[in-house]
Amino acid sequence: MHHGVGPHRRQRAAGLGVSEISGSSGASMSVTAISTLSAQPVRIDRGVGAWLFAIAAMIGMMVLVGGLTRLTGSGLSITEWQPVTGTLPPLSDAAWLAEFAKYQGTPQYELLNRGMGLDGFKSIYWWEWTHRLLGRLLGFVFLLPFLIFLKQRRIDRGIALRLGMIFLLGAAQGALGWWMVQSGLTGARVAVSQYRLAAHLGLAMILFGYVFWTALEIGGARRTRSTEAAGFRPFAVALVGLVFVQIILGALMAGLDAGLAFSTWPTYAGSWVPNGMFDLSPWWINHFENIVLVHFQHRTAGYVVAAMVLWLYLTLRPSADRPLKLAGIHAVVLTTAQVALGVVTVVSMVALPLAALHQLCALALFGSALWWAFTLNANAARSF
């Protein structure tokens, strides 16, 4: 049966092409293109599309809770990876004391939180436990409907393979999360490695983009019919990559607490170019471990994103039809909000609510950039 399947319209499948993910003392990721994922046309089914949009929203919720977990210093409160038995929190006083004893053996407790009581431990434990629970719930909400839709033959073979890859990447994300946590449980570290944090967030963005793009396709999102505007699609693709890089730079900021390096704007403690950007040796390591340069990079990349969004919007505006206008307006509004949130977050010395909103807005901007690139495929719009 094909309940909820729309008219037999067809559109070309396009998606988020992701470059190789590699790791050395951590991992680095980049989005290099949005390329064709399947040569087969995609059948529109708005029910399946709505399910995928819900999955993308859940990934966004996980990113937000993960950011709050990092900002509250809660990420190292659970010292074991128990994918099944870890679903339940401690249910007795004895179980809570046992978990607390494990945490007391970590460098973070010894060097940063010595003297913390059980109530204080519970407050950080619940953040990490909620983040992990959301991951388990996300896997369930993805897999069960996926199998149902397969049985109902509402998902074509090409899309089924794509969604299977998404599920495997989701499982890998759980393992990557634990690899990240491990980096903060040994030695003299009181937080996770910024490299592994960037890898964990980067894969979350890749998953979000993969799911969101597929949802746009299957949900039948409209694309521009302007061939003139479609010629600017490579610039929209470049914008997606740039926003992705900016998010990774934000992860380095969070991992190093580099947001605290300066609390002034637009200058850096009174200087337009901060001092000490290349104090570490070798020189290249400053890009990843020097809080001054990391902070400078993140701000500068933000200005580049804003300039590119404004240029692309003004360039496309004369030939834009309704789908393109909607996507472009969302990108402009979210970019403006993100820049403003970045400024007030820095000036507030990374106040928790502002920092969380800044991260959530970054995810929304990434989705908006993807939508903009999606609409700029006039050929697909004419194919159904």
What pLDDT band is residue 384 in, cutting at 50, 70 and 90?
very low
Instruction: Indicate left, alpha or beta for 262 from its phi (over 0: left) and psi (-120 to 50: alpha).
Output: beta
Task: Identify the residue with better confidence: 348 or 31.
Answer: 348
206-246 pLDDT, tens per residue?
A: 999 999 999 999 999 999 998 889 899 999 999 999 999 99
C-alpha 163, offset from chain centre: 18
Average pLDDT over residues 52-60: 97
Task: Identify the residue with better confidence: 13 or 185.
Answer: 185
pTM: 0.86
List b or e across 24-49, with b for residues whose CB sees 16 or more CB atoms inside 10 angstroms: eebbbbebeebeebbeebbbbbebbb
Average pLDDT over residues 26-31: 40
d(CA 197, CA 180): 6
Q: Which pLDDT score is estimated for 41? A: 64
Q: Which pLDDT score is estimated for 43? A: 83
262-310 pLDDT, tens per residue?
A: 999 999 999 999 999 999 999 999 999 999 999 999 999 999 999 999 9
In degrees and rounded to multiples of 5, residue 368 shows phi and psi of -65, -40
Average pLDDT over residues 181-200: 93
Question: Which residue shows structure tokens 């050929």?
Answer: 379
3-state secondary structure of 10: strand
* Position 246, amino acid: Q
d(CA 122, CA 134): 18
As a whole-number percent, the residues of the chain with pLDDT over 90 amount to 81
Q: Which residues contact 345 (CB under 8 A, 6 or more apart)?
A: 259, 351, 354, 355, 358
Kindly report the average pLDDT of the chain as a whole number.
88
Neighbouring-strand partners of residue 38: 13
Is 50 exceeded by the pLDDT of residue 137?
yes
309-353 pLDDT, tens per residue?
A: 999 999 999 989 999 999 999 999 999 999 999 999 999 999 999
d(CA 211, CA 18): 13
Is 60 exceeded by the pLDDT of residue 185?
yes
Q: What is the sign of the dihedral through the CA atoms of 127, 130, 131 and 132?
A: positive
Is 70 exceeded by the pLDDT of residue 124?
yes
Contact between 55 and 61 (Cβ < 8 Å): no
10-27 pLDDT, tens per residue?
A: 333 333 333 333 333 343
244-257 pLDDT, tens per residue?
A: 999 999 999 999 99
Q: Which residues contact 311 (CB under 8 A, 6 or more apart)?
A: none
* Position 301, amino acid: A
Structure tokens at 199: 């890898």
Q: Which pLDDT score is estimated for 85? A: 79
Q: Which spans in the chain are helix H?
A: 46-71, 93-104, 107-111, 118-151, 157-182, 194-218, 227-230, 233-256, 286-289, 291-316, 322-347, 352-375, 378-381
Q: For residue 43, give the H/E element and its range.
A: strand 33-45
Closest CA to 141 of 246, 56, 268: 56
C-alpha 319, offset from chain centre: 31
What does each C-alpha distance from 87 to 83, 128, 134, 184, 207 come to in angstroms? 7, 12, 10, 22, 23
Judged by average pLDDT, the poorest of 93-97, 178-182, 374-378 is 374-378
Contact between 89 and 116 (Cβ < 8 Å): no
